[in-house]
Amino acid sequence: MNNTDQKRAPICEALERLRKKRVVPFDVPGHKRGRGNPELEQLLGDRCVNLDVNSMKPLDNLCHPVSVIREAEELTAEAFGADHAFLMVGGTTSAVQSMILSVCKAGDKIILPRNVHKSAINALVLCGAVPVYVDMEVEERIGIALGMENDKLKKAIALHPDAAAVLVNNPTYYGICSDLVSIVQTAHEHGMKVLVDEAHGTHLYFGKNLPVSGMAAGADMAAISMHKSGGSLTQSSVLLTNKTMNAEYVRQIINLTQTTSASYLLLSSLDISRRNLALRGESSFSKVVDMAEYARTEINAIGGYYAYGKELINGSSVYDFDVTKLCVYTQDIGLTGIEVYDLLRDEYDIQVEFGDIGNMMAYISIGDRIRDIERLVGALADIKRLYERDGSGLIDCEYIQPEVVMSPQKAFYAERKSLPIEKTEHCVCGEFVMCYPPGIPILAPGERITREIIDYILFAREKGCSLQGTENPMVEYLNVIQEQ
Amino acid sequence: MEMWFSEIHTQNIKLTIRTDKQLFSGESDYQRIDVFDSPELGKFVTLNGDIIFSDADEFVYDEMVTHVPMAVHPNVKKVLIIGGGDGGVAKELSYYPEIEEIEIVEQDELFMEVCQKFFPDMAQGLKDPRVKIYHEDGLRFLRRRINEYDLIINDSTNPFGYTEGLFTKEFYGSCYKALKEDGIMVYQHGSPFYDEDEAACRSMHRKVFRSFPISRVYQAHITTCPAGYWLFGFASKKYHPIRDFDGARWRKRNIKTWYYTANLHIGAFMLPRYVEDLLEEEEDKL
C-alpha cells in the first residue's frame, strides 16, 4: 500500500478548497451554509453546516464519480486490498442489498445462513431471489448461532447446484468467524459468487492477528460498516468488489436505490476514516484488542458472567473468533441479556450495543478508554450483587431454524390477514419479526410460524426486547398469508 | 508584569487569581498538572485547569472529610482513601491512634510526586507508618474488596474528569460492598449553586441515597470552589451523622483544627432551603 497517497483525503481537500473560495450558493441545500436555519447551526456548529453542500463539479458526484470521489474510492480500494470500492451513504443495509441485487435476479437461488441481518432478506423481497438456508449449529451453553461450515455449504450446494451466490455474515455480531477461504473455494468451484456481510469486520482489514477478511479470502464482494469499527459517521459505509465483478455494473445497481443527493458529511467522514485506518489502524486496533481482552478477563473474574472468546474456536462452526467483540452471556446470574442491558442504562448510565435473550454486547472501539472499561466491569459486578436471581424458566436459545414455505417476495406481496400472535401457529408469516438490535429476523416473510417461535417472541417482548418489523406497532398481531 | 490564572466555573463566570509564577507544568497519563504560586492563596495545584486545593483553603476540605466521620464512628480501624495523593486526608487521619491501617489508592503517580515536592507539609500524611499506597484505578481496586473497611473517603473532586468513574452507582455500590456492616463512606458532593453543577450534585445524591440506608449531605465554605460553596456526602450503613455523633469524645482528643469543631459538626448538616429541596426532590424520585 502506498502510504504517501493514503495520507491524502481527496474529498476533504476539495471541501477545504471550496470553503476558501467563498462561493455564493445559489444551489441546494436551501439552508445556505446554515444561514437560513440558525437553530440548526446552533445545534450542529458552523463547521458542520458549512460542509453540508450539494454535488458540484469541484466536489464530484457520487452517482457518477469522475474526480475527487473516484480518487477517494480508489484510495479506499487500495487500503482494503480490493479491486474497487464504493462509498455508500445508505448504511451497510444498502451495501448488503447492492451486493445481492448485483448477483441475483428474480427466481435465482442464494445460499445463506438464517442469522443474517434483515437487510439481506429485504433484498430478496426486492429482487425475488429465493433463499436456501444452510444448516446452522447452535452453541449449547450461550444459545447463539455459529458460523457457516464448509461441509454444510457443500451439502446445500449438492441440493441446489443452480444457486447463483453464497452470502456469509462474517464476523457475526457475536464475533463468530467462518472458514472464509474454504467457503470461497467451494463456492467458486461451483461457479457461485461469494458475498460477505462484513458489517462487523472493518477492523479485520487493518488489525494484526485478527481473522481473515473477505477480500483477503478472495470473496467477490464485501459490505463494510465503516461507521462501526471504522469510526466514520453513522449511515456511511463501503462496498468492496474484487476483479471478478464488473464495477460499472455494480455502480448501476447501487444507483437504482441510492440517493442522488449524497451527504458530504458522510462522504468526508468516510474519506477521513479511511485515511486514519490506513495510517494508524494497526496500532489503534491493537489497543482495542487489549482493552477487549482485559475486559473479558475482568468480567469472567466477577463470576456468573461468561464473556466468551477464543476458547470457542472448534475448527468448523467457530473457525475463528474476533476478539474485539465483547459479548457476555448473562443467564447464569438469572438475568436475560436485555435485562442487564436495561439495568446498565437506567441504573448506571452505561449504554451497551445490544441485549438479547441470553447475551449482552459492549461495543469496544478506537474511541474507548480503560477507565470506561472499569466502569462497565464495576457496573456488571454491582448488578450481580444487587439483582442476581434464580434463572430457571428463562428461554436460553437465540436461534430457531425456520421452515421456508415460499420466497420472501411472494410472501411479502401475497394476500395477508392480521391475526393475534397467539393464534398464528402453523400459519405462514407475511412479514418480518425481529429484535433490534441485533436486527436478525426471528421470522421472515414466507416462513412457518411454530409454537416455539411464538413463545420466543412473547418471552422477548415480556423481557423488554425492542421488537420490530410488523405492521402492528405493539407486535400483538402478525400478518399471515391467506391460505387458499 | 501581570499574570493571572483563570478557572472557568460556568460559561459565564470565572475565578481569576493573580499569580507570581508557575512552579510546575506536566502531563501525566491521566491529566495535565500545574502548580502556581500566588500572593493571596499561596501555592495552588490545578488538574486540567481546575483548582484542586490551595495553601490557603486546603485545611477546610481535609478536615471536613476526616473529622466528621471520625467523630461519629466509635471504632475505626481500617480506612480507605480513594484519590488522596496529596496526603492531606492521611495527615488528618494520623491524629487518631486507634486507626491501624490507612490505604490510599491514587492512580496518578505524577500527581503524588508533584504534591510531595510542592506541598511537603500535607504530604507528611503519606509518611505515617500505617499508610499503604496503591497506584491503580479506584473502581478496579474496590472490586476485589468485601467487608474490609470501617471508613472509605472518596477524595476525588471532579465528576467530569478521569475520575468520573468514582461518582457512579457502580462505585458507590462497590464501596457499600467493601465496607463492614457499620461502615461509613464520605465523598465529595460537588457544588449545588450553578446549573451544570446542580445536575451532577443531584445525580450523586440520587445514586448514593439508593445505595445506603443512611445518606446525609453536609456543607463547607471553600474559597476556590465554584460559588465558594461545597458539599460533602455522608453515607452510612448504621451510624447517623448527628444521632451517633459523640462531640464530647472528639473534644477530648484535643486535635488542633482550623475549620472543624464539635459545634460546627451539627451545623454543617443544616442546609440552605434550596439545597435541601433539590436533595429531597431526588429522594422522592424513587
Q: For A111-151, give the DSSP string.
A: EE-TT--HHHHHHHHHH--EEEEPP--B-TTT--B----HH
Among partner residues A298, A370, A378, which is closest to B174 by beta-carbon distance?
A: A378
Percent of chain A at pLDDT above 70? 99
C-alpha cell at B53: 486545593
CB contact under 8 A, A381 and B143: yes
Contacts of B174 in chain A (CB under 8 A): 378, 381-382
CB pairs under 8 A between A and B: 51
Find residues 159-218 of chain B whose CB sits inside 8 Å of chain A: 162, 164-165, 168-171, 173-174, 177
CA distance A400 to A144: 10
Reading phi first (left if > 0) and then psi (alpha if -120 to 50, else beta), residue B96 is in beta
Contact A375 B173 (CB under 8 A): no
Mean pLDDT in residue range A152-169: 97
- The nearest alpha carbon in chain A to B211 belongs to A386
pTM across the whole model: 0.89
| Helix (H) or strand (E) segment spanning residue A94 | helix A91-103
- CA distance linking residue A81 with residue A238, whole number of Å: 13
Check whether A151 has a pLDDT greater than 90. Answer: yes
3-class DSSP state for residue A49? helix
CB contact under 8 A, A385 and B169: no
Closest to B79 in 3D by CA, of B180, B174, B155, B149: B149
**Cell numbers given for B46:** 490545578
Taking alpha carbons only, the member of B97, B61, B87 closest to residue B189 is B61
- Write the pLDDT tens digit of every residue in A16-60: 999 999 899 999 999 999 999 999 999 999 999 999 999 999 999
The predicted-structure confidence for A239-268, as pLDDT tens digits, reads as follows: 999 999 999 999 999 999 999 999 999 999
- Which of A106-115, A373-382, B151-160 comes out lowest in average pLDDT? B151-160
Instruction: For residue B203, give the nearest of B139, B274, B282 by alpha carbon.
Output: B282
Q: Which value does ipTM take for this structure?
A: 0.84
* Span A447-478, pLDDT tens digits: 999 999 999 899 888 888 888 888 988 889 99
Q: How confident is the model at residue A130 (pLDDT cuts 50, 70, 90)?
A: very high
* Contact between chains at A348 and B169 (C-beta distance less than 8 A): yes
Q: Check residue A399 and report its DSSP letter.
A: -
Average pLDDT of chain A, as a whole number:
93
Chain A residues with CB under 8 Å of B165 CB are: 371-372, 374-375, 378
Q: pLDDT tens for residues A210-236? A: 999 999 999 999 999 999 999 999 999
Please, which residues bridge with residue A354 across strands? A361
At residue A416, the pLDDT reads 92
Handedness of CA B48, B49, B55, B61 (dihedral sign): negative
Nearest CB to A378; choose among B162, B164, B171: B171
Minimum-distance CB partner of A371 among B137, B142, B173: B137
| Burial (0-12, 13-18, 19+ Cβ within 10 Å), A393 | exposed
Instruction: Provide the pLDDT for residue B15.
Output: 95
> Chain B closest CA to A344's CA: distance in Å?
10
Q: Which residue does chain A place closest to B30, by CA atoms? A: A371
Q: pLDDT of B206-238, one tens digit each? A: 999 999 999 999 999 999 999 999 999 999 999
Q: Residue A378 and residue B177: Cβ atoms within 8 Å?
A: no
**B32 CA to chain A: closest CA distance, Å?**
17
pLDDT at A169: 95
> Minimal Cα–Cα distance from B113 to chain A, Å?
22
SS (H, E, C) A224-289: ECCCCCCCCCCCCEEEEECCCCCHHHHHHHHHHHCCCCCCHHHHHHHHHHHHHHHHHHHHHHHHHH
Question: How high is the pLDDT of residue B160?
Answer: 67
Distance (Å) from the alpha carbon of B21 to chain A's nearest alpha carbon? 33
- Contact state of A298 with B143 under an 8 Å Cβ cutoff: yes
pLDDT reading at A3 higher than 70 = no
* pLDDT-based confidence at residue A2 (cuts at 50, 70, 90): low
pLDDT for A484 equals 61
Residue among A263, A204, A256, A209 nearest A228 (CA): A204
Strand order in the sheet with B50-54: B21-27, B32-38, B42-47, B50-54
- For A237, phi and psi rounded to 5 degrees? -160, 175
Closest CA to A329 of A299, A297, A360: A360
**B228/B57 Cα distance (integer angstroms):** 11
The larger pLDDT score, comparing residue B108 to residue B286, is at B108
| A375/B162 touch (CB, cutoff 8 Å), yes or no | no
Among B143, B165, B174, beta carbon nearest to A371: B165
> Residue A436 pLDDT more than 80?
no
- pLDDT of B115 > 90? The answer is yes
pLDDT in tens, A65-94: 999 999 999 999 999 999 999 999 999 999
Band (A162; pLDDT cuts 50, 70, 90): very high
Specify the residue for cell string 485478527. A210
3-state class (DSSP) for residue B80: strand
Give A348→chain B minimum CA distance, Å. Answer: 6
Residues in chain A: 484
Other beta carbons within 10 angstroms of residue B285's beta carbon come to 10
Q: How many Cβ atoms are within 10 Å of A474's Cβ, its own excluded?
A: 9
**A188-217: per-residue pLDDT in tens?**
999 999 999 999 999 999 999 999 999 999
Q: Provide mean pLDDT across the span B111-138.
A: 94
Q: Which three cell numbers stand for residue A313?
A: 474456536
Contact B139 A372 (CB under 8 A): no
The answer to whether A386 contacts B162, with C-beta atoms less than 8 Å apart, is no
Tell me the CA distances in angstroms from A24 to A16, A18, A44, A54, A328, one per residue in order. Answer: 15, 11, 21, 13, 54
What pLDDT is stored for residue A395 in this prediction? 77
CB-based contact, B54 to chain A, within 8 Å: no
Question: What does the pLDDT average to over A179-187?
Answer: 98
pLDDT interval class at B286 (50, 70, 90): low
**Helix or strand run (H / E) with residue A189:** helix A180-189
Cell of residue A468, nine digits: 420490530
Q: What count of other Cβ atoms lies within 10 Å of the Cβ of residue B67?
A: 24
pLDDT tens track for A345-400? 999 999 999 998 899 999 999 889 998 999 999 999 999 999 999 988 887 776 77
Q: What does the pLDDT read at residue A223?
A: 98
The confidence band for B77, taking pLDDT boundaries of 50, 70 and 90, is very high
Please give the pLDDT value at position A400: 79
Mean pLDDT of chain B: 94
pLDDT digits (tens, 9 = 90+) for B232-274: 999 999 999 999 999 999 999 999 999 999 999 999 999 999 9
Cross-chain Cβ contact A378/B162 below 8 Å = no
The pLDDT of A302-315, averaged and rounded, is: 96
Smallest Cβ distance to A374: which of B139, B169, B173? Answer: B139
Half-sphere CA count of B222, side-chain side, radius 13 A: 30
CA B268-B270-B274 angle, to 5 degrees, is: 120
Q: Which residues of A touch B171 (CB under 8 A)?
A: 378
